[in-house]
Structure 1
Amino acid sequence: MSLRRTLSELAAFLRKPTVLRGQGLRAPGAWRLWTTLTVFQILVLCAVVVQAMLLWQKAFGLPSPDAFDGMSPLALWGGAVILAPVLEELFFRAWLGGRPRALAALAVTVAGLAAFVALGRGKPLIGLPILAATALAACVLWWKLRRREDIPPRFASAFPAIFYGTVLVFAALHLANYPQVSLLALPMVLPQAWTGVMLGYIRVRIGLVAAILTHVASNAVVLSLALATGT
């Protein structure tokens, strides 16, 4: 597939996101498509989005993120480049394909996390059973619904709002990386917003594993540049 066609398909999807059946990385041409989309995502991120964010940060004297302050290089690379991409893709984008098993598992996970925050945070005797029950329930539902491939009509019709809503939530949660949250800080998560858009498209166009690999590659490049430049 040519670069022009790849970007044309991306633009058409972003104008009106629709649920797609990810072709998987084993499909003919999938790795070439993944490479093209991943390189495009990283180039735009580093050459345009991050530069705009840095200009905004400098103009208003905003602080840099402090989420990883004090972490050893091993922990930093393991957390930012391996663990975070896997967990974030599982939570934010694994279910974007619309399959009932993934939607059910997401609903149980969100309910379980809410119960943990409300009742079990800081209380291991309560919190651990809640997390264990949540994981068990999600696995059971996934297994019971594993053969269903139908996409709920309401999910399909609401998909544009779901897609961009997920992007906004994904970006907004990264405001927690900064010592102070304010309206001025919103442009500081533009990199996460752009990345969320591209990861979402790669997820539905190719598949979850492809989105995880792009997330890993993107974080690795950004972290390497940040460490090299001291930003």
Structure 2
Amino acid sequence: MSAASAALPGKLRFRDELADFWRFLFQSDLRRLPGRRSRSGLRNDWLPDVPLRRLLAWAAVLWGLNFFALGPIAVTAAGAGGAVHRIDPSAIPWLTAILWAPLIEEMLFRYGLRRPRQALWVCPAVLPPLLWGVHGWTVAWAAAVVLLACLPLRREKVARVRWRMDWRRQYLMHFGRVYHLSSLAFAVVHLNNFMLADTAYWMLPLLVLPQWATGLVLGWIRVRRGIGAAVALHSIFNAGPMLLIVLVLGLGS
């Protein structure tokens, strides 16, 4: 057990998780946080023991950071560069924002952080649901991808033996870069939400600062708590602005 792992208490307070997240940004690793109640890798990955209030606390941090700091920077950059948001916030389907996007985006950008061998086929496999949106066949496709991704967990010990140690060692050495690149890729994809017009290239990163920061937190919770926790936090995070939009529209009507 590493010294960093040993430093984590058995029952984490929220400030302990904040401190671990801050360390993770500079010293990324694949260890889990304590508190797992099951020996099943499948259960721990998809049904982690994370209280709802803890997920809400992380969502509140992201809402505050994006609303008071990163969001205003993105809005200012969009106005200065002539970029226009192509999505009407009042017309975003709830199903897409709260259920579909969190599942598909987490499978694409963060599922493979702990399972890089599976990422070689999972990432290409979730592109059709991402590109075509919610339809009967894409829902069935996404469900099949999730089910197939779960099947190898029952052969996890065999897979570890077959995974050459030098390959695993290289991945662990470069995991920090993989983690940060996944967050950058998550942010870059969200540039598609804008009609960029003549926006200068150097301003593009400013437009997606909120998504970049959100991706960093989601990547940390995926590694520490599991893919289920990442999907749940992503869903809660998206639900906040949706509820705010509904309230504003209701008051304005």
Deviation at 1:52, TM superposition (A): 1.9
* CA positional deviation for 1:148: 4.8
Q: Does 1:166 align with 2:182?
A: yes
Shift of 1:155: 1.5
**Higher alpha-carbon deviation: 13-22 or 26-35:** 26-35
Structure 1 residue 173 displacement after superposition: 0.8
Measure, in 1, the Cα distance between the counterparts of 2:239 and 2:146. 33
Which amino acid letter does the alignment assign opposite residue 67 of structure 2? C
Match for residue 107 of structure 1 among 91, 113, 120: 120
Percent same amino acid among aligned pairs? 23
The 1-side partners of 2:147 and 2:234 are apart by: 28
**Match for 1:20 among 16, 23, 31?**
31
TM-score (norm 1): 0.72
Q: Secondary structure at the match of 1:146?
A: helix
CA contact (8 A) 2:62 2:214 kept: yes
* Distance verdict in 2 for CA 1:23–1:3, change over 3 Å: closer
Instruction: Decide which of 205, 211, 215 is 2:230's aligned counterpart.
Output: 211
Q: Which residue does 2:218 correspond to in 1?
A: 199
Secondary structure class of the residue paired with 1:53 = helix
Match of 2:209 among 182, 190, 194: 190
Counterparts of 2:156 and 2:240 in 1: how far apart (Å)? Answer: 36
Match of 1:146 among 126, 144, 156: 156
**Do 1:24 and 1:207's aligned partners in 2 also have CA atoms closer than 8 Å?**
no
1:36 aligns to 2:57 (yes or no) = yes
Q: Indicate the residue corresponding to 1:124 in structure 2.
A: none
One-letter code aligned to 2:65: V
**CA 1:26–1:51: 2 relative to 1, 3 Å:** farther
Q: Which residue of 1 aligns with 2:194?
A: 178
The alpha-carbon distance between structure 1 residues 105 and 68, as it changes in their structure 2 partners (threshold 3 A), is: farther
Q: Counterpart of 1:39 in 2: which secondary structure?
A: helix
Give the Cα separation in 2 of the matches to 1:221 and 1:93: 22
Alpha carbons of structure 1 residues 216 and 160: separation in structure 2 relative to 1, 3 Å = same
- Judged with a 3 Å threshold, the aligned counterparts in structure 2 of structure 1 residues 24 and 51 are, in CA distance, closer, same or farther, namely farther
Question: Relative to structure 1, is the Cα distance of residues 136 and 191 closer, same or farther in structure 2, using a 3 angstrom cutoff?
Answer: closer
Higher mean C-alpha displacement, 102-111 vs 140-149: 140-149
Residue 216 of structure 1 and its aligned partner are, at CA, apart by 0.5
Q: Which amino acid aligns with 2:122?
A: T
Match of 1:60 in 2: 81
In structure 1, the gaps of 5 or more residues are 122-127
Which residue of 1 is the match for residue 171 of structure 2? 155
Shift of 1:6: 2.8
TM-score between both structures, scaled by the size of structure 2:
0.67
Rounded to whole Å, the distance in 1 between the matches of 2:87 and 2:57 is 31
1:57-94, Cα deviation, whole Å (9 max, x unpaired) = 23333212x245895x6xx1111111000111112111
Contact 1:17–1:159 (Cα < 8 Å) also in 2: yes
Cα pair 2:126 2:145 within 8 Å, conserved? no
1:79 match: 96
- What's the Cα RMSD here? 3.7
- The CA distance in 1 between the partners of 2:56 and 2:102, in whole Å, is 17
Moved more, 219-228 or 144-153: 144-153
